[in-house]
């Protein structure tokens, strides 16, 4: 039984449901029963009770089923013809897969998203813990976990399931073994004893343990190298209370020895005593890097390894520890801690602790490098994709990059705005990055638009105008043929003088007809431009359409056919209604494409933001007809940027660019008529977010 929504604005069901993200269904949600069949609406048979019927020819009569077992929901393809897709992965028929919050399902051309009952929010509650808040409630909170990156096959009763990468599936996998078990209550008791033990040694140990925990947490939570180093420098003097100076250097492969390293972080115990120039001992660096081992020297000046080394004496070191940052036998840097005042500041235990910290830092840095490589790779893919799209329509070259820049600037201006209605709206760095990717890819769906429609500059295609010009030549030839044929028929009945008079009259009439055809062609060329036409031009076009000429058999042939006349009488632009729908479909194509990309959590809303960038506050936009608060704030930001760039971009074949002032006036006009967000337009203008480097 299909679920029908009766409210003007559909509310989410209290139980588990499927959210419609694209395709034919008019409703927004399908409520799930203990077992729900998904199939095709067909007049020849009826689906069972508690079924979801879809009007899509690509959906089989009995396509898939969703069932509940042991508190979880599972999706199973019931041997459909075209297959069922979960997070862009085609399911093996007859095998159930676990559904998680945000799992994306494709059945034919219908896109659905699974939402369990646990995520249903009470009216008025916040849907997102940070950002996009206060006076601008948004549906963007639904996308907090937009993609589930794994598929989970399970047996029929759902008792055992294992996560498997979406790149492959192993039908039967056992649960991982537990390698160690900790009694948490016992651990907490020991920590409590350590806290109450006031002996100096135990207090020092507790302080070190706390500092080590902070380092470990920092390694797992910091999102940049700079933040990681700042965290380490902040706690390192708690771990080593006798240390006077600490620093981290990284290898940059610009040379050998000391020349191959550059400082990454440095700190001293005495505030304000940091040296601006970091000086390393080449002897120590060569030992640590060359031998890939940690060094402890309790008294550097008496250490036989460094006897006679000028660099050691010049630096004035007394005690030093230096450990390599080692990853897969490669030294990517080192950490050094030293003192200038006293010897025997560190012991073997200190060296072990610092070596452990170095190992963790090395792994973290390696991971940062991998993340940066992945980001650069993805950034390159996005940039190449945008360039590929713009190659199909050279007239819009640079549009996506400019919209991304405008959107970022406006988001940053909104984030810092003191306007009362915008004060609580915050864009984090991750959300601005999310908006940027959505803006870069917002027109990617143009790959699904026919190229001749995409680049259509005037109301008639070049081929149509060529055919029309040939018809004009044919009309002139036909009129001449008919006139001279009639003159020949009358020749025998006319005297030479009368024949000459008749011939002169025929030629004069033909000259008038030729002039009329020339005027008609001038009218067509004028009407063919994508500018707004008035009633006078429409009247002249009607005269052209009413004109007929004789065909081969003397039949009346129209100078303009119906399709040409309808195209030329378009009130605005160069596209017919069908062509405009084709162009508008690029938004749906964009959403379909972006929905198949496994975005990470911080980029989960990219597809939804791009999907809504042509929506209008009054509901007159497309493709979803969203209105008001249904439109996510990032999408509203991009709408302002997209309109402004479309108005001010360099001359295109179908329109001329407007000045910045004129474009801003049109933005105000759209805002005043309830189309776009007036507060965002105000911030866009006041902050001058529209001023790029290439603009005055």
pLDDT in tens, 172-210: 333 233 223 334 344 345 545 555 555 555 566 666 666
Our CA angle for 37, 38, 40, nearest 5°, is: 125
Residue 488 tokens, joined: 């020949």
What distance in Å separates the CA atoms of residue 117 and residue 691, rounded to the nearest whole number? Answer: 46
Give me the DSSP letters along 272-314.
Answer: T---SS----HHHHHHHHHHT--EEESSGGG-GGGTT-HHHHH
Q: How far apart are the C-alpha atoms of 441 and 606, rounded to whole Å? A: 9
What is the dihedral sign for C-alpha 653, 659, 662, 664? Answer: positive
Among 10, 517, 48, smallest CA distance to 18 is for 10
| pLDDT reported for residue 52 | 93
What is the average pLDDT across 207-220? 64
Q: What is the pLDDT of residue 619?
A: 92
Whole-number pLDDT of residue 120: 38
Q: pLDDT digit string (tens) for 605-630? A: 999 999 999 999 999 998 999 989 89
| pLDDT band at residue 372 using 50, 70 and 90 as cut-offs | confident
Q: What is the largest CA-CA distance in the chain?
A: 141
Q: Examine the pLDDT at 373 and tell me if it is beyond 50.
A: yes
Determine the Cα–Cα distance for residues 62 and 53; give it in Å rounded to an integer: 10
Do residues 24 and 57 make contact, with C-beta atoms less than 8 angstroms apart? no
Could you give the CA distance from residue 286 to residue 322 in angstroms, rounded to a whole number? 11
Q: What is the pLDDT of residue 181?
A: 35
The residue written with tokens 């002897």 in the block is 283
Rounded to whole angstroms, the Cα distance separating 99 from 38 reads 15
Point out the least confidently predicted range of 7-21, 285-299, 380-394: 7-21
What the block records as the tokens of 432 is: 């601005």
Distance (Å, rounded) from C-alpha 550 to C-alpha 11?
Answer: 65
Beta bridge partners of 324: 334
Q: Are 150 and 163 in contact (CB under 8 A)?
A: yes
Residue 274 CA to its chain's centroid (Å)? 43
Q: How confident is the model at residue 654 (pLDDT cuts 50, 70, 90)?
A: low
Residue holding tokens 């459909």? 80
Cα distances (Å, whole numbers) of residue 649 to 398, 644, 694: 9, 8, 12
Higher local confidence (pLDDT), 236 or 107: 107
For range 517-526, the mean pLDDT: 88
- List the beta bridge partners of residue 251: 261
* pLDDT tens digits, 412-433: 999 888 787 887 788 888 899 9
| E-assigned strand segments in 437-573 | 548-550, 556-558
* Token pair in block for residue 615: 């929506």
Euclidean distance between CA atoms 380 and 350, whole angstroms: 44
User: Over the Cα atoms of the chain, what is R_g?
Assistant: 37
Q: Over pLDDT 90: what percentage of the chain? A: 18
Q: Which pLDDT belongs to residue 157?
A: 42
SS3 sequence, 422-453? Answer: CCCCCCCHHHHHHHHHHHHCCCHHHHHCCHHH
Nearest to 407 by CA among 624, 613, 668: 613
Which has more confidence, 514 or 163?
Answer: 514
**What does the pLDDT look like over 461-489, one tens digit per residue?**
788 888 898 999 998 888 888 888 877 77
> What is the structure's pLDDT at 395?
66
What band does 76 get if pLDDT is binned at 50, 70 and 90? Answer: very high
User: What is the Cα–Cα distance from 331 to 183, expressed in whole angstroms?
Assistant: 37
- Classified as helix, coil or strand, 217 is helix
DSSP states along 17-69 = EEEEEESS-SSSEEE--SEEEEEE-BTTB-PPSSEEEE--TTS-TT-EEEEEE
381: pLDDT strictly greater than 80: yes
Instruction: Name beta bridge partners: 68.
Output: 73
Which tokens go with 286? 């060569």
Per-residue pLDDT at 672: 94
Instruction: Quote the CA–CA distance of 194 and 129 in Å, as a whole number.
Output: 37
77, pLDDT greater than 60? yes
What pLDDT does residue 220 have? Answer: 65
Give the whole-angstrom CA distance, residue 246 versus residue 114: 51
Q: Can the peptide bond before residue 623 be classed as cis, meaning omega within 30 degrees of 0?
A: yes
In this structure, of 21-25, 34-38, 50-54, 287-291, the range with the lowest mean pLDDT score is 21-25
d(CA 480, CA 98) in angstroms, rounded, equals 79
Query: Please, what sign has the CA dihedral across residues 517, 521, 526, 527?
Result: positive
> Which residues make Cβ contacts (< 8 Å) with residue 297, sequence separation at least 6?
303, 305, 306, 317, 319, 320, 321
Q: Scan for tokens 């610092």, then name that residue.
A: 354
Q: Is the pLDDT of residue 41 over 90?
A: no
Pairing mode, if any, of strands 245-251 and 72-77?
A: unpaired
pLDDT of residue 184: 37
Q: What angle do CA 601, 607, 613 make, to 5 degrees?
A: 130
pLDDT at residue 205 in the model: 61
What pLDDT score was predicted for residue 438? Answer: 93
Q: Which helix (H) or strand (E) holds 475?
A: helix 462-491
Mean pLDDT of 678-691: 92
pLDDT for position 254: 53
- Contact indicator for 73, 116 with CB cutoff of 8 Å: yes
Q: What is the predicted pLDDT for the residue at 485?
A: 81
| Main-chain phi, psi angles of 270, to 5 degrees | -85, 120
Average pLDDT value over all residues in the chain: 76
Six-digit token pair at 369? 């490098």
User: 57-71, 292-306, 668-682 — which is least confidently predicted?
Assistant: 292-306
Categorize the per-residue pLDDT at 102 as very low, low, confident or very high, splitting at 50, 70 and 90: confident
Closest among 635, 367, 408, 387 to 375, alpha carbons compared = 367
Query: Which of 336, 339, 305 is CA-nearest to residue 323?
Result: 336
For residues 27 and 451, give the distance between their C-alpha atoms in angstroms, rounded to a whole number.
32
Dump pLDDT digits (tens) for 488-512: 777 667 777 777 887 888 888 888 8
pLDDT at residue 168, as a whole number: 26
pLDDT tens digits for 631-653? Answer: 999 999 999 999 999 888 865 65
pLDDT at 600: 80
Give the HSE-up count for residue 540: Cα atoms under 13 Å, Cβ half-sphere. Answer: 17
Q: In what order do the strands lie in the sheet with 51-54?
A: 51-54, 35-40, 64-69, 72-77, 97-98
State the pLDDT at residue 8: 35
Query: Does residue 341 contact residue 244 with C-beta atoms inside 8 Å?
Result: yes
């Amino acid at each position: 039984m299909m679920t029908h929504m009766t409210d003007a604005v559909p509310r989410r069901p209290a139980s588990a449901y499927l959210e419609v993200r694209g395709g034919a269904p008019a409703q927004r949600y399908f409520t799930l029963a203990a077992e729900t069949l998904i199939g095709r609406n067909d007049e020849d048979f009826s689906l069972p009770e508690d079924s979801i019927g879809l009007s899509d020819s690509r959906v089989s009569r009995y396509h898939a089923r969703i069932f509940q077992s042991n508190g979880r929901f599972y999706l199973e393809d019931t041997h459909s013809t075209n297959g069922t897709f979960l997070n862009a992965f085609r399911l093996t028929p007859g095998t159930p897969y676990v559904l998680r919050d945000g799992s994306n399902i494709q059945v034919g051309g219908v896109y659905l998203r699974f939402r369990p009952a646990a995520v249903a929010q009470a009216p008025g509650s916040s849907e997102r813990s940070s950002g996009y808040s206060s006076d601008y409630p948004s549906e963007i909170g639904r996308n907090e976990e937009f993609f589930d990156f794994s598929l989970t096959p399970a047996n029929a009763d759902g008792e055992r399931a294992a996560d498997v990468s979406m790149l492959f599936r192993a039908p039967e996998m056992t649960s991982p073994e537990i390698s160690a078990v900790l009694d948490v209550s016992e651990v907490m008791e020991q920590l409590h004893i350590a806290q109450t033990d006031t002996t100096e040694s135990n207090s020092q140990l507790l302080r070190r343990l706390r500092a080590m925990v902070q380092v470990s947490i920092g390694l797992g939570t910091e999102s940049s190298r700079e933040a990681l180093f700042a965290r380490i420098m902040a706690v390192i003097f708690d771990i080593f209370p006798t240390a006077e100076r600490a620093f981290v250097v990284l290898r940059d492969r610009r040379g050998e020895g000391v020349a191959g390293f550059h400082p990454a972080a440095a700190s001293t115990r005495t505030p304000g005593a940091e040296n601006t120039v970091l000086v390393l001992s080449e002897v120590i660096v060569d030992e640590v890097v060359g031998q890939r081992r940690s060094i402890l020297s309790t008294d550097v000046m008496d250490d036989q390894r460094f006897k006679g080394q000028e660099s050691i004496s010049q630096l004035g070191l007394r005690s030093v520890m230096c450990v390599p940052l080692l990853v897969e036998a490669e030294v990517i840097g080192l950490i050094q801690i030293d003192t200038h005042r006293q010897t025997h500041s560190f012991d073997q235990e200190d060296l072990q602790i610092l070596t452990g910290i170095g190992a963790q830092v090395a792994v973290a840095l390696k991971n940062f490098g991998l993340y940066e490589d992945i980001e650069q790779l993805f950034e390159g893919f996005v940039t190449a994709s945008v360039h590929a799209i713009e190659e199909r329509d050279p007239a819009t070259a640079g549009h996506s990059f400019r919209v991304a820049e405008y959107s970022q600037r406006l988001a940053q201006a909104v984030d810092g705005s003191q306007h009362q209605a915008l004060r609580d709206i915050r864009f984090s760095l991750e959300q601005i990055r999310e908006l940027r990717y959505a803006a870069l890819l917002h027109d990617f769906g143009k790959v699904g638009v026919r190229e001749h429609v995409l680049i259509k500059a005037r109301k008639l295609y070049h081929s149509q105008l060529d055919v029309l010009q040939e018809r004009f030549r044919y009309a002139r030839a036909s009129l001449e043929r008919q006139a001279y044929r009639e003159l020949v028929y009358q020749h025998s009945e006319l005297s030479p003088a009368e024949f000459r008079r008749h011939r002169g009259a025929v030629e004069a009439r033909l000259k008038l007809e030729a002039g009329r055809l020339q005027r008609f062609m001038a009218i067509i060329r004028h009407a063919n431009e994508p500018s707004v036409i008035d009633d006078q031009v429409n009247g002249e076009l009607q005269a052209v359409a009413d004109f007929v000429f004789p065909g081969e058999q003397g039949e009346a042939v129209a100078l303009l056919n119906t399709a040409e006349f309808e195209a030329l009488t378009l009130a605005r632009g160069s596209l017919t209604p069908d062509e405009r729908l084709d162009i508008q479909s690029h938004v749906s194509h964009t959403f379909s494409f972006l929905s198949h990309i496994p975005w990470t959590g911080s980029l989960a809303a990219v597809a939804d933001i791009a999907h809504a960038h042509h929506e209008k506050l009054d509901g007159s936009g497309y493709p979803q007809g969203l209105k008001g608060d249904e439109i996510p704030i990032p999408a509203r930001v991009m709408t302002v940027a997209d309109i402004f760039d479309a108005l001010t971009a360099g001359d295109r074949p179908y329109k001329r660019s407007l000045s910045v002032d004129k474009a801003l006036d049109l933005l105000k006009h759209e805002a005043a008529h309830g189309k776009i967000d007036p507060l965002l337009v105000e911030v866009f203008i006041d902050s001058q977010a529209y001023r790029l480097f290439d603009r005055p």
